Amino acid sequence: MYNYNLSHEINQMNNYLLQYNDLNSQNPSQQTAYPISNDQIASNNFILSENKTNQLIDDSSMDYLDYSMDALIEVLVPTPSYIPKEKFLYSMLLCSRMNIRPSLLFNRLANLTIKSILNMTSDESIRTIKNYIYILSQWTRTFPYDFRNNEMISQLQDLFKKLILFQPNFQSDLDHIYKKLQLKLKSLDNYEEYIKQLNKKTMFNLTQSNLVTDIIHECSTSILFAQQLTHIELDRLKSVGDEELIQYFIMKFASEESDGNKNKSSKSLIHDKKLTFCLELYIQWFNRLTVFIPTEIVKHTQKRSRVKLINFFIDSAYQCFHLHNFNSMIAIISGLNMQPVKRLKRSWEKVEMEKFHQLEEYINVSKNFSTYRLIYKLAMEEAEKNKWTTDKFVIPFLSITLQDVYFIKTHSQDYNSDRTINFKKYYSMAKFISEEFQRCKQSKCSFERNDDVINYIITSPTFNEDSLMLASFECEPPINISEKDKYKILQ
C-alpha cells in the first residue's frame, strides 16, 4: 500500500488551518460597523451603544465617483464624530491597491489623521484616535496579508508606539489588535512552511508501490473521496485573502509590463510575492488534482482496472456536484478529458456514460459557462437561505472567479476622463469579491476527515505530460500516424 505516512504532518496542518480559520471566521462585509466592536477591543472605553454608533457612521450618499485619490484618502480620515461607512472602507482598502501601494496608503492615512488632531481639543483628539484605531482594527482583521510586507508591519509598529505616547490608555487596545494580527500571520507562516515541506516530500515519494496501488485501495467509495476532496478544498479556500484576488492581477500585469519593456523597471513589481501565496497554492491544487486523475488511470495496464477507476472518478465528480464542491468536480472532469485518458477508446467502451455526459453539460463553456453559472447561483441561494449552516456550503470553480475579477479589472478604466478615480470599478470589484468569493469561505462540513485518504491525494506522485502520454500508449497502442510519431518521440 502507500509507503509514506504523513499523518503527523497533516494533523499539524489541520491545527494551523483551524487556528487561522477560527481567527478569520467572521465575514467582514456582513458585520455591523461599530467604531470599536466588542470582539476587537477589550477595553470598555471603546464600546459604544448601537444608537450612538449609528450616529457616527457616514450615512451620506456613497457617490465618490469624481474623487481623486487624495480626496478618497481624505474620506478615510476619521473625526471625533465620523468614521467611513463600512461599504466604502472595505472597497477602498481592498481596491485602492490598484492605484496606490497599501504601505503608501497606510502612511498617508496616518499622517493625515495625526495632522488633523493638532488643532483639536483633548477630548476631540482622543475620540478621533479611537475612531482611527477602529479603522486600523478593520484593516488588520479584514486584510491581514497586507502586513506580511515588511514595510507595512514596520509602519504599524512605529505608529502604535506613537499612539501609546500620545495616550498611554490606548496600549491595551493596540496590543490586542497587534496580538490578533500576529496570530494570523504566524499561522499563515506555519501553513506556508508546511506546504513547502510537503512539496519537497512529494517530489521524492515516487516508488514502485505507487505504481501498483491507486485511490480505490485507499478510498473504497466515491462519496468518501468527494468528502475528502471537500476538506482539502475548504482548507485552501479559507486561507485565500480577498486582497489576493486583486494582488494576483496587479503582479501579473506588472510582470507582463516588465517583459514588454525590458529597459524599464516596473514600479508595480515591488509587490511581494508572499502576498498571493495562498491563492497561487489554491491554483496549484486544482492543477494537481486535474493531473492526479489521469495518473491514477494510465498507470494501470489492465483495462479492467482503468474502467473501474474511470467509473469511480465519474461517480466522485457527481458526488462533488451534489456537495456543491464545483472546483473538485470540474478538476475531475478536466482530468478525464485529458488526451492520455480520452484516447483510451477500448476503456471508455465499458464505461457508463450517462453521468459523465450530464456533468460535461454542467461545465459547457458556451455562453460564458451559463449552465454552470446558473447552478452556482442556485447553490449560493440555497446556502444563503440556510444561513451557511454546516454542510450548506459552496466551493466555486476558482478559474471562473478569477476570470470574473479579471473582466472587471480590464473592462473598465482605472481613471475617469478627468483623471479622477473610477470608484464604480472599486465598488463593482469589492461587491463581487464580497458576495461571490468571501461568502463561500464561511462554508463548513460535518463529515469526518480521513487523514490517510488526504495523505494519498496530496502526496501521491503525478506524471508529467510526456509520462502520461507514454503510459497511455502502453495501455492502448497508438492507432494513427500522429500518435505513432508521438510515441516514437517519447521513447
Question: What is the pLDDT at residue 132?
Answer: 97
User: Positive or negative CA dihedral for 211, 212, 214, 219?
Assistant: negative
- 136 and 241 share a domain? no
- 243 and 291 share a domain? yes
**Has residue 296 been placed in a domain?**
yes
Question: What pLDDT band is residue 416 in, cutting at 50, 70 and 90?
Answer: confident
Question: What pLDDT band is residue 152 in, cutting at 50, 70 and 90?
Answer: very high
Question: What is the pLDDT at residue 65?
Answer: 64
Reply yes or no on whether the pLDDT at 373 is more than 70.
Answer: yes
Q: H/E/C letters for each residue in 98-144?
A: HCCCHHHHHHHHHHHHHHHCCCCCHHHHHHHHHHHHHHHHHHHHHCH
3-class state of residue 46 by DSSP: helix
Helix, strand and coil percent figures for the chain, each rounded to 5? 70, 0, 25
Instruction: Write out pLDDT tens, residues 293-336.
Output: 999 999 999 999 999 999 999 999 999 999 999 999 999 999 99
Residue 41: strand pairing partners: none
- 170 and 274 share a domain? no
Reply yes or no on whether the pLDDT at 25 is more than 70.
Answer: no
Boundary-marking domain end, from 137, 164, 184: 184
**Has residue 77 been placed in a domain?**
yes
Question: What is the pLDDT at residue 142?
Answer: 94
- 178 and 231 share a domain? no
Residue 415: strand pairing partners: 421
Residue closest to 296 by CA, chosen among 459, 478, 460? 460
- 154 and 219 share a domain? no
Instruction: Write out pLDDT tens, residues 426-447.
Output: 999 999 999 999 999 999 999 9
**Has residue 88 been placed in a domain?**
yes
If one counts every other C-beta atom within 10 angstroms of the C-beta of residue 421, the result is 25
Name the percent of the chain lying above pLDDT 70.
Answer: 81
3-class state of residue 83 by DSSP: strand
Residue closest to 463 by CA, chosen among 284, 299, 286, 280? 299
**Has residue 145 been placed in a domain?**
yes
What is the spatial distance between Cα 67 and Cα 60, in angstroms, rounded to a whole number? Answer: 15
**Residue type at 87 in one-letter notation:** K
Reply yes or no on whether the pLDDT at 176 is more than 80.
Answer: yes
- 125 and 236 share a domain? no
Residue closest to 173 by CA, chosen among 160, 184, 183? 160
Q: Which domain CATH number covers 161?
A: 1.20.870
Instruction: Write out pLDDT tens, residues 30-83.
Output: 332 233 232 322 232 332 223 333 333 343 434 566 789 999 999 999 999 999
**Has residue 189 been placed in a domain?**
no
- Helix (H) or strand (E) holding 204, with range, is none
Identify the domain containing residue 90 by its residue range.
7-184
**Has residue 200 been placed in a domain?**
no
Inter-residue contact 143 to 108 (CB < 8 Å): no
**Has residue 408 been placed in a domain?**
yes
Question: What pLDDT band is residue 197 in, cutting at 50, 70 and 90?
Answer: confident
What is the spatial distance between Cα 55 and Cα 82, in angstroms, rounded to a whole number? Answer: 8
- 44 and 98 share a domain? yes
Q: Which domain CATH number covers 351?
A: 1.10.840.10
Reply yes or no on whether the pLDDT at 479 is more than 50.
Answer: yes
What is the spatial distance between Cα 402 and Cα 406, in angstroms, rounded to a whole number? Answer: 6
Angle at 338 between CA 359 and CA 236, to 5 degrees: 70
- 237 and 175 share a domain? no
Convert 452-484 to b/e letters by CB count within 10 Å (16 or more is b).
bbbbbbbbbbbbeeebbbbbbbebbebeeeebe
Reply yes or no on whether the pLDDT at 478 is more than 60.
Answer: yes
Which parts of 324-365 fold into alpha helices (H)?
A: 326-336, 339-342, 345-348, 354-362
**Residue type at 342 in one-letter notation:** K
Q: Quickly list DSSP for 387-439.
A: TT-TT---B--HHHHHHHHHHHHHSS-SB-TTS-B-HHHHHHHHHHIIIIIGG
Instruction: Write out pLDDT tens, residues 198-234.
Output: 777 776 665 545 566 789 999 989 999 999 999 999 9
Poorest-confidence range of 206-210, 245-249, 346-350, 460-464? Answer: 206-210
Question: What is the pLDDT at residue 266?
Answer: 47
User: Positive or negative CA dihedral for 15, 20, 23, 25?
Assistant: negative
When divided into structural domains, the chain yields a total of 2
**Has residue 2 been placed in a domain?**
no
* Backbone dihedral angles phi then psi of residue 50, each to the nearest 5 degrees: -65, -40
- 220 and 175 share a domain? no
- 430 and 292 share a domain? yes
Q: Average pLDDT, whole number, for the chain? A: 84
- 13 and 119 share a domain? yes
Residue closest to 319 by CA, chosen among 448, 453, 390, 224? 224
46 exposed, middle or buried (CB, 10 Å; 0-12, 13-18, 19+)?
buried
- 73 and 21 share a domain? yes
